[in-house]
Amino acid sequence: MMHHHTLDTPAGPFTYVVSDAGAVRAAGFTTDVGSLLSLVHKDLREETRPAASPGPVGAAVLSYLDGDLTAIDGVVVEQHTTGPFMAHAWQVMREIKPGAPVTYTGFAELAGRPSAVRAAATACARNAVALFVPCHRVLGTDGTLRGYRWGLGVKTWLLAHERHDPS
C-alpha cells in the first residue's frame, strides 16, 4: 500500500507518494495523483490512498520551504530502473548542493561519464521524485533553464529559494 499527500507551497501544490516503509516513490508539483502514479516503476506500483497527515516526508518539505535547504536530503526515495547508470546518476543528483546548480555537462562529469550528456539529461527527465532527487538543479549546457516536468516557473522558484532569494 502507498499513501499520498498534497502540500500547498509557494511554487504550487506539491504531492508525494510514499510506501508503507516511508520511501518516496513519486513526487511533483501537481494535485494529479494519477500522473504521479504513472511515474512509479511497475514493480513498485501499489494501491494508493490519501495519507491522514503529512508525516515525516511532509515535515521535511515544510522545513525545506522554511529555509532549511538540507531538510529533504535525508528523505528516503525508491526509484527503479533497468540500467546502472540511471540509478547512479540519481544518487549523484542528490549530492548537488542547493544554490549550486550544475549544467548537464557538469552533471555528466559528476556522474563519471563526461561524454554522456544525453544520458544525464535522460536521468533528469525520468526522475519520478522531484525535489528529493533535485533535477531542478541541473541547467542547460549553456547555463540557461531547460525543460522541467512541473514547469519552468516552478524550477525558477526553486532555484531562487535555494539562493535564499525567493521571488
Catalytic residue (choose from 102, 130, 135, 159): 135
Residue spans of the chain under pLDDT 70: 165-167
The whole-number pLDDT of residue 84 equals 85
| Residue 156, CA distances (Å) to 29, 58, 85, 129 in order | 13, 22, 27, 18
State the sign of the Cα–Cα–Cα–Cα dihedral 138, 143, 147, 150.
positive
CATH architecture of structural domain 84-162: Orthogonal Bundle (1.10)
How far apart, in whole angstroms, are the C-alpha atoms of residue 152 and residue 11? Answer: 11
Q: Where are the domains of the chain?
A: 2-65, 84-162
Known catalytic membership, residue 124: no
Q: Check residue 62 and give its pLDDT.
A: 97
Contact at 8 Å (CB) between 128 and 40? Answer: yes
According to the model, what pLDDT value does residue 83 have? 80
Q: What is the pLDDT of residue 143?
A: 86
